[in-house]
Chain A
Amino acid sequence: MERKIRVLIAKPGLDGHDRGAKVVARALRDAGFEVIYTGLHQTPEQIVSTAVQEDVDAIGLSCLSGAHMTLFPRVVELLRERGADDIIVSGGGIVPEEDVPKLKTAGIAAVFGPGTPLKDIVEFHKKALRKR
């Protein structure tokens, strides 16, 4: 049997807004991915160790508190340190336009702002992970 693509949906930091993370988790599950949801209040360290332990293909980070510029790049950095930087990291939340290029430079593959259609998020993961 073919192994399903595994995605970790994670909530870094203290932010409690979990509506978007849960909706995205369900949409990916309904699209045939295997989804693991970390729950709230995860440190970047916790997220990376879950990702490594669960052997995921991608991580989707959600943050609506404005702390994305600190927390998102930290996850990528820790993945590199653990030699797990083949894991594709994307992010979503209240991210001002001017932060998007900075996040991409830091290694966040895609940023999904408010109003992003779910099918775009699904397509992104299908495309990015097809190559493997």
Chain B
Amino acid sequence: MSEKEARERRRWETETYKRACAQSQERKKRFMTTSSVDVGALYTPDEKFDYLSKLGFPGEFPYTRGVHPTMYRGRLWTMRQFSGFGTAEETNRRYKYLLEHGETGLSVAFDYPTLYGHDSDDPRAVGEFGKCGVAISSLRDMGILFGGISMKGVSTSMTINGPAAIVWGFYLAAAEKQGAKLSQLRGTIQNDILKEYIAQKSYIFPPHPSMRLIVDTFEFGSRSVPQWNTISISGYHIREAGSTAVQELAFTVGDGLAYVDAAMERGLRIDDFAPRLSFFFNAHNDLFEEIAKYRAARRIWAKEMKSRGAKSPRSLLLRFHTQTAGCSLTAQQPENNIVRTTIQALAAVLGGTQSLHTNSMDEALALPSEKAVKIALRTQQIIAHESGAANTIDPLGGSYYVEWMTDYMEEQAYKYFDRVAALGGVIPAIEKGFFQQEIANAAYQYQKEIESGERQVIGVNAHCEKDKPDIPLLKMDPRGEARQFARLKKIRRERDKAKWTKALADLEKAAEGEKNVMPLILDAVKADATLGEVCDVFRKVYGEYREPSLY
């Protein structure tokens, strides 16, 4: 901002703006973002703003404006609906339905027993079968899940963490059975255990052996499945647990750097694995705050990777998937959620996402019905083809407000990096409950703002209606569980006992030693070892994690 502009700005503030406020007060004493950040009335050019160092150009350092030189003018984002329920058969039908309606990638939601590495018939799984995802206990289940879908032709993302290496093993083995080569497969395993301890809580083993399994997948992937993203470093669940946008950004990028450091300590070369790291962020209601978050994330990552010695430009790219905010959906007046999701999806697109999931309107009530998920997918198609948002790159770059917010986010994230470093790093900070407490505090503050009316949520504390929601909800096949139990019994009865015993014994030896476990996991799943059996080997060697129960 030139001196003249600054002078004029001060004049506007003291004369025009103040006078207008004196004549009639602003609507609120305090304007704030979804994350409770104070927002000013007007943002104007910053004289210190250096275009080339802060923004640069798309596809070039520091990638603030986007990771690809052409962005959506070249190729649209992948439309990928997170989906899974009941048995592999039911979910397979849903995948085919979504692909028929124009979805361009698959994303598997597993049920809780699968997420915790238990077989469907384990006593700890009671009541959870197929409830919030599909039940996958064996190679055979994975084969059914992708029956009639070409695994070398589609890219698949799998939200799996504690038992990621094993479920990935099921996928790789099922694809080979279809005749695919590992080098042809494209997709992502979430495999981000740090955020499990921090927020999502579907951990199995303690942090250090979990990190070892993850680095094993990095190593195996870079050698044998080169097109696979072996981790999706996730802020989504951190945000859902109640964090602010800044916390989501700082904790996620901080986790990413912790994985990089762990892999480098093992002796892996940064440019060998870094290009396969990917990210996953939330998109909440505040359009500008969200856009700024994605832009700041790209800039921080590029700088940090460069400072760790990355030479390949691909190592510097923060590529990410986005899901709209489940926690923003209301059970009241569920149709309003279509509108919320549209705003959130637009934020993700304006922020340069590589793939996107849009939530369905009924998800505060149940898993999505076919109709609800179709509307969610259509929302993305309308943004892509009708809104104009995909015509030019980083359309909000240069907005005084968005640039201010991007800088603010970056600055705040570095403050968190310093606090975590002072606690000894990410794992010690987890063990002290630092992240968990920060998130719980933010969640409580947000809820109190709703209670006090300072924050309005339409249908919840403003414009409420008495009528209960009346939309049809998804019903699952009640006989699915029994079918799954029978299938597991059959597998255990029919498999080659000698081969199975040897595969699990070899795996146990590898888990105790230093050898990469991935090839042995593949042998075990091909010998029809079930998910629970393979995880029990690791449970025996590594033990199980228990978290400090703070609130």
Contact = CB atoms under 8 A, between A and B. Distances in A.
Contacts of B447: 23, 27, 118
B331 A113 contact: yes
A117 interface: yes
Nearest to B460: A115
Contact of A22 (B331, B451, B546, B551): B551
Interface stretch (A33-41, A77-85, A101-109): A33-41
Contact of A96 (B196, B242, B473): B473
Contacts of B127: 13, 67, 69-71
Chain B contact residues (Cβ within 8 angstroms of A): what range?
Answer: 35 or more
Given A19-B240, A66-B366, A14 B549 contact: no
Contacts, number: 105
B311 interface: no
Contacts of A19: 240-242, 327, 440, 443
Interface in A1-28: 9, 13-19, 21-23, 25-27
Mostly helix, strand, loop or mixed at chain B's interface?
loop
B131 A118 contact: no
Nearest to B200: A16
A52 interface: no
B112 A23 contact: no
A64 B124 CA distance: 17
Contact of B364 (A43, A94, A117): A94
B126 to A, nearest CB: 6
Interface centre among A9, A22, A27 (most CB of B within 10 A): A22
A86 interface: no
Chain A contact residues (Cβ within 8 angstroms of B): what range?
Answer: 35 or more
B128 A13 contact: yes
Given A40-B201, A67-B128, A114-B331, A14 B112 contact: yes
B126 A70 contact: yes
A25 B551 contact: yes
A27 B440 CA distance: 12
B332 interface: yes
Given A19-B242, A96-B473, A26 B131 contact: no
A27 B452 CA distance: 13
B327 A16 contact: no
Nearest to B364: A114
Interface of A: 9, 13-19, 21-23, 25-27, 35, 37-40, 43, 64-67, 69-71, 94, 96-97, 113-115, 117-119
7 smallest A-B Cβ distances: which pairs?
Answer: A70-B127, A39-B549, A16-B201, A66-B131, A67-B127, A14-B112, A22-B551
